[in-house]
Structure 1
Amino acid sequence: MDMIALADWSRTLSFFDANGLQVQNDRNLTFDPLFMSQFENTPDNSFILVGGSNKKVMLFTLEGSYLDTISTQNSWVWACKTHQNKMAIGCQDGSLSVQELSLMTVHSLYKDRYACRDTNCTDILIQHLLTGEKVRIKCRDLVKKIAVYEKTLAIQLPERVILYELSDDSGTTDMNYKVKEKISIKIECSLLVLCSSNLILCQEKRLQSLSFSGQLEKEWLFESPIRYIKTIGGVPRHESLLVGLKNGQIQSIFLHNMFQIDVIRLSHSIRCIDLNSKHQKIAVIDEKNKCFIYDLSTKQQLFEESNVTSIAWNANFEDLLCIAGPGFIGVKAEHLPIQIVNNQAFKIAHDFPNLKSDVYLPYALWLAENERFIEAQQG
């Protein structure tokens, strides 16, 4: 529907249709608006930029909901125009600046469930990767962080955190999420992680464990900024986490105690961590996009590969690791060389039903050749 947005010096933001009829309630502003422009994030999705005497450029939805302040200047902002992902700003003091606009990807993955923020920044899309079923959750506010763990989904909004949960009798493919808890708390964190009964917040070198009522239960301080957190699981309120640091250190913690256990140390900042199903091997990617596999009992390096951006151990075979990089997806099985599964990584969603033969058969053949027949038949 074509719509006209109008901001005036009565400090209101109004919306009308092409016939001049108001289609939404007025939105109150806290400043005198001096400009308004449109920002197209995608061909199907747009936002409104408004600012003026507040010396800011503010982002609103087409429904008039405030999302975020994307630029702060030294004087009143009189003009702002966008072109693709660039934004030009003109101010009262005669200054002119050009800035780049980018909306970060906000997402979370747990086993076969993937959740991401939609392009409108206020909705969540959750997809079951095996069935392809998708559901949408409308938050009507800026979605800042998402976390998924087992049956629970956490969504961080500017002034609160909302927890959703699948029903107790739901099957493994159920997608009916219902509100479990609303925590009225304003938090600032670089990473949000979810456990069975706790929210884990990362703030530079500090890690905090909060109950679902918002109460602080534990706090850890690390020697270097935190770059990655991996939930390993365990008994509720006693789960284990792997924490990757900027200095290359990987440490393990448990939610019920304060001790930090050294695991391994790399030369560069940690970007990604995964642990195999028997917790005997760890795969790590550093900031140079190098992948390493270590034996946790001996601390011996077993494997190294460059140009890797993503890793995932197979849940059924403890020695089968999926490796992805620019334009490829491959499989690493014990001492075998990497088997390239697909040379077009983004094609994976379309070819998923056929991947079993590509992934499992080479590994099953190797198991059979080494007289490990029972494992070979599991695929």
Structure 2
Amino acid sequence: MTHYVDSEVGRLGTVLLHRPGPELARLTPRNNDSLLFDAIPWVGRAQEEHDAFAAALRDRGVEVLYLATLLAETLAVPEARAELTEQVLRSPRLGDTLRRRVADHLTYLDPAALADVLIAGLAHEEMRISPERPGGLVWTLMDRHDFVIDPLPNLLFTRDSSLWIGDRVGVTSLAMLARRRESTLTDAVYRYHPRFVGTEFVYHPELEHLEGGDVLLLAPGVLAVGVGERTTPAGAERLARQVFAAGLAHTILVVPIAQERATMHLDTVCTMVDVDTVLMYPNIASTLSAYTVVAGPGGEPQVDGPAPFLRAAADAMDIDQLRVIDTGLDPVTAEREQWDDGNNTLALAPRLCVGYERNVETNAQLERAGIEVIPIAGSELGSGRGGPRCMSCPLVREPLPPTR
């Protein structure tokens, strides 16, 4: 199977999603902040919304793969099961006695049940502890609602833990502690699942912090990388070195963004909806800058700038200018709809995208500009601050003509 992505807008062929499940039910007012959710989602409604999202993709001919299914199939490979189990048991929070109990608990799970635990976590009260099988001091001192294995509610946002550049996958290095184990799961899927046998990697989770929501494939050979709350300058530089060495790009635009929750990734303020068109948060459109990075002698990254982002992007893409569609119609509406992921659209093809239905003004702006919008509900899905692009990792897109 050939997986290939060289743009944000080439016709989408295959996408990786994660249907939200029991891990969302782990969220409470006591832990939702540490698990990076702004509200407690209604799990059943979130699943209905996600099913409608997946159906909308299938209706347009997109093959939908589910991460939990791929993970269960991966765990049927003994080496993958041993590796992922060992990673969980390595946690220094456990202590020797509880580590043995957790190991015993995981040993008897079939691949599907083990996948469920790795995603949804394992709570203190779910452990089979008895006088004959004690949990030790660590288990005794835990609150009954504490987690022995933490859940991964943000796995919903499959864009962040992996991305494809050309025919290579990058498994990213997630910055927030609550999310770091996500990339161990995706890494195992890409290395052990039969569908991905022979896949080459362009990034690995042990490298500097880099998240997929910060990486836009503006055109074949041209990437934009946001640097802010989640992706570090060192991560952007490492990605540049990796893609230059692999011949996957000729230009990287490094784009500083505010280190704030509302702008956690570049794709919260800018996404592409056509080969030469972006949907962009107008409050920052005129101030966003970019540093242009190209490969110098020996592949050493050479940096120029800063320059206005829109100008630098057009130059790198070899077009006269990048057309901009504003989020909302006025500053207040723009701010509201940007917070509700109005900018975070998923392009299914040039001039065709999926967006949250609640962003009425932004969707109207897109339609007026000739962009067809497939609206989906997102009142519960959006509680983790992510839209259709965040919830999807494209694996196959039709190639676009090269820029150079």
The structure where strand makes up a greater share of residues is: 1
- Of structures 1 and 2, the one with the larger relative CO (CA 8 A, separation 6+) is 2
Q: TM-score range by the shorter chain?
A: 0.3 to 0.5
Q: TM-score of the superposition, structure 1-length normalised?
A: 0.33
TM-score (norm 2): 0.31
Q: Which structure has more helix as a fraction of its residues?
A: 2
